[in-house]
Structure 1
Amino acid sequence: MPATRIACKQCVHGNVRPESARRAQSERSKEPRMFIKNTWYVAGWDKEIPAEGMFSRTIIGVPVVMYRKEDGSIVALEDRCCHRGAPLSVGRREGDCIRCMYHGLKFDSAGRCIEAPAQERIAPQAKVRKFPIVEQHRWVWIWMGDPENADPSLIPDTQWLDHPEWRSLDGYIHYDVNYLLICDNLLDFSHLPFVHPTTLGGSEDYAAVRPKVERIDGGVRITRWAINTEAPAFAKAVKDYPGKVDRWNIYNFTIPAILLMDSGMSPTGTGAPAGVRVDAAEFRGCQAITPETENSTHYFFAHPHNFAIDKPEVTASIHQSVVTAFDEDREIISAQQRSLELEPSFKMMPFSIDAALSQFRWAVNQKLEEEAAASARR
Structure 2
Amino acid sequence: MFLKNCWYVAAWDHELIDGRMLARTLLEEAVLLYKSESGKVVALQDRCCHRGVPLHLGRREGDCVRCMYHGLKFDPTGKCIQIPGQEVVPPKLGVRSYPVVEKDHLIWIWMGDPAKADPAEIIDFPYLRDPQWKGIPDYMHYDANWLLIVDNLSDFAHLAFVHTRTLGGSEEYAYVTKPVAIERQPRGFRVERWHMNAAPPPFHRKVLPAEEKDKPVDRRNIGHMHIPGIFFLESMFSPAGSGSENGNREGSREYRNCQFMTPETRRTTHFFWTYLNNYEGDDHNISRSLHQSLIEGFMEDKHLIEAQQKVLDADPEFRMLAVAADAALSHFRWTFDKLVAAERAEEAAKKAATPAAPAIKPPHQAGIGA
Q: What TM-score comes out, normalization by structure 1 length?
A: 0.89
Tell me the CA shift for residue 356 of structure 1.
Answer: 0.8
Deviation at 1:158, TM superposition (A): 2.6
Say yes or no: does 1:200 pair with 2:167. yes
Cross-structure match for 2:194: 225
After TM superposition, list the pairs within 5 Å mapping 1:232-271 onto structure 2: 232-239=201-208, 240-271=212-243
Indicate the residue corresponding to 1:72 in structure 2.
39
Structure 1 residue 53: deviation in Å?
Answer: 3.7
Structure-to-structure mapping, 1:333-348, within 5 angstroms = 333-348=305-320
- Distance, in Å, in 2 between the alignment partners of 1:323 and 1:162 is 22
Find 1:125's aligned residue among 89, 92, 95.
Answer: 92
- Give the deviation of 1:120 after TM superposition: 3.3
Give the Cα–Cα distance (whole angstroms) in 1 for the partners of residues 182 and 216 of structure 2: 25
1:40-79 alignment, distance < 5 Å: 40-79=7-46
How far apart are 1:341 and its partner, in Å?
A: 2.2
Moved more, 209-218 or 171-180: 209-218
Indicate yes or no: 2:62 matched with 1:95: yes
Quick check: 2:199–2:214 contact (8 Å CA) kept in 1? no
C-alpha deviation, 1:329, in angstroms: 0.7
Distance 2:20 2:107 in 1: 17
Distance in 2 between the 1:111 and 1:340 partners?
39
Counterpart for residue 281 of structure 1? 253
* Residue segments in structure 2 that go unaligned for 5+ positions in a row: 351-370
Deviation at 1:272, TM superposition (A): 1.3
Q: Is the 8 A contact 1:267 1:280 kept in 2?
A: yes
Which aligned pairs between 1:207-222 and structure 2 lie closer than 5 A?
207-208=174-175, 209-211=177-179, 212-222=181-191
Partner of 2:142: 175
Unaligned runs of 5+ in 1: 1-33
Deviation at 1:63, TM superposition (A): 0.9
Aligned-pair identity (%): 48
> Please, which moves more after superposition, 181-190 or 152-161?
152-161
Counterpart Cα distance in 2 of 1:87 and 1:274? 57
Deviation (angstroms), 1:241: 4.0
The residue number in structure 2 matching 1:164 is 131
Specify the alignment match of 1:359 in structure 2. Answer: 331
CA RMSD of aligned residues (A): 1.3
1:173 corresponds to which letter in structure 2? M
Structure 1 runs (4+) deviating above 3 angstroms are none
What corresponds to 1:106 in structure 2? 73
Partner Cα distance (2:115, 2:148) in 1: 31
Q: CA deviation at 1:277?
A: 1.6
| Partner Cα separation in structure 1 for residue 114 and residue 312 of structure 2 | 37
What residue in structure 1 maps to residue 266 of structure 2? Answer: 294
Structure number, greater radius of gyration: 2
Contact 2:161 2:170 in 1 (8 A): no
* Superimposed CA distance per residue, residues 111-143 of structure 1 (whole angstroms, 9 cap, x where no aligned partner): 000111343332222111111111111111111
Which amino acid in 2 is paired with 1:210?
K
Q: Is 1:185 matched up with 2:147?
A: no
Structure 2 distance, partners of 1:342, 1:374, is 33
Give the Cα–Cα distance (whole angstroms) in 2 for the partners of residues 252 and 201 of structure 1. Answer: 18
Q: Please, which of 147, 150, 158 is the counterpart of residue 117 of structure 2?
A: 150
1:373 paired residue number = 345
Q: Is the 8 A contact 1:44 1:141 kept in 2?
A: yes
Alignment partner of 1:364: what SS? helix
The answer to whether the 8 Å contact 2:137/2:273 transfers is: yes
Query: Is residue 313 of structure 1 aligned with residue 285 of structure 2?
Result: yes
Q: Distance in 1 between matches of 2:236 and 2:304?
A: 25
Equivalences, count: 345
SS of structure 2 residue aligned to 1:291: strand
- Tell me if structure 2 keeps the 8 A contact 1:309–1:315: no
Query: Is the deviation greater in 127-136 or in 199-208?
Result: 199-208
Show the counterpart of 2:297: 325
Contact 2:200 2:214 in 1 (8 A): no
Report which structure shows greater RCO (CA 8 Å, sep ≥6). 1
CA deviations 1:88-123 (Å, max 9, x no partner) are 000121221111122221101110001113433322
Which range moves more in the overlay, 117-126 or 34-43?
A: 117-126
Distance in 2 between residues matched to 1:309 and 1:81, nearest whole Å: 48
Residue 217 of structure 1 deviates from its aligned partner by: 2.8
Offset of 1:360 from its aligned partner? 0.3
Rounded to whole Å, the distance in 2 between the matches of 1:53 and 1:345 is 43
Shift, 1:61, TM fit: 0.6
Would you say the 8 A contact 2:145–2:268 is kept in 1? yes
Range that drifts further, 94-103 or 324-333: 94-103
Match of 2:358 in 1: none
Matched, 1:35 2:7: no
Displacement of 1:344 in angstroms is 2.1
Give the whole-Å Cα distance in 1 for the aligned partners of 2:153 and 2:274: 14
